[in-house]
Amino acid sequence: MTGAGGTQRWAPGDHILWRYRGNGSRNLHICRPVTVVQDTEDLLAVWVAPGTECVKPALADGTPVYREPLATRYTKPRVTVREEWWGTGVLKLARPGDPWSVWLWWDEGWRFKNWYVNLEEPHLRWAGGIDSEDHFLDIAVLPDRSWQWLDEDEFAQAQQVGLMGAGQARRVRRAGRAAVELIEAWGWPFADGWEEWRPDPRWAVPALPADWDRTPARMPS
């Protein structure tokens, strides 16, 4: 399906890849096969189903990244590993040009838990999905409209070890403040009712292709 300006649009139920390149690298190190919920000029919404086989980074000795002390978390050699997405699944929402995506999390029984603002590069589309780069800093937003910064220690450590320069760090902070303004105004997507959304039970869990890292998109410098 082709939208305005010749942009290729995906249909609900299509399977695409949501990928991230490594910081300070053009190599892809995260890949999540997802199901398209909506793809319009204003919004891409996708579903990461429980049990989806994904790619994520790990330390070369097999240690999960989150278990490594912060001081060496970003300096030890890494590999990519395959692992199933655990938990109840996550709905991801992204608007063109936004330096973040918003994720919705539920507990068992579809009890809505929270929104999660993931600060990242605006997405680049390619034939099989979208590519970005994570910016470490995140924001949790609760149903009572309270919010808090997350991973500020990782954001600081990434700068200390040279994965993010001072100029980029300032841009990420500005993006975070813009997201906070949106939260405090209770704008998109927090007032849009996405927490009531449910996946189509007929959707199959998308497969992770063997060539998941093909054609890395060139990210902005």
In-domain check, residue 171: yes
pLDDT greater than 60 at residue 6: no
Q: Which helix (H) or strand (E) holds 45?
A: strand 44-48
User: Domain for residue 61, yes or no?
Assistant: no
Mean of the per-residue pLDDT values of the chain? 93
Give the residue from 195, 208, 207 showing the smallest Cα distance to 103.
Answer: 195
In the predicted structure, residue 3 carries a pLDDT above the cut 70: no
Q: Does 111 reside within a domain? A: yes
pLDDT tens-digit series, residues 23-76: 988 899 999 999 999 999 999 999 999 999 999 999 999 899 999 999 999 999
Strand partners, 141: 115, 147
For the cut 50, the answer to whether the pLDDT of residue 183 exceeds it is: yes
In a domain, 165, yes or no: yes
Domains contained in the chain, number = 1
* Model pLDDT, residue 218: 58
CATH number reported for the structural domain that contains residue 112 in this entry: 2.40.380.10
Percentage of the chain beyond pLDDT 90 is 90
What domain range includes position 154? 4-16+34-51+87-189
The answer to whether the CB of 71 falls within 8 A of the CB of 91 is no
**In the structure, what pLDDT confidence band is assigned to residue 217 with cuts at 50, 70 and 90?**
low
Q: Is residue 219 predicted with pLDDT exceeding 60? A: no
Q: Mean of the pLDDT values across residues 184-205?
A: 97
pLDDT at res. 203: 97
Question: Could you read off the pLDDT of 67-112 as tens digits, one per residue?
Answer: 999 999 999 999 999 999 988 999 999 999 999 999 999 999 999 9
What pLDDT score does 42 carry? Answer: 96
Q: Is residue 168 part of a domain?
A: yes
In a domain, 112, yes or no: yes
Q: Is 64 within a domain?
A: no
By DSSP bridging, strand 15-21 and strand 129-141 are parallel
Give per-residue pLDDT as tens, 133-173: 999 999 999 999 999 999 999 999 999 999 999 999 999 99
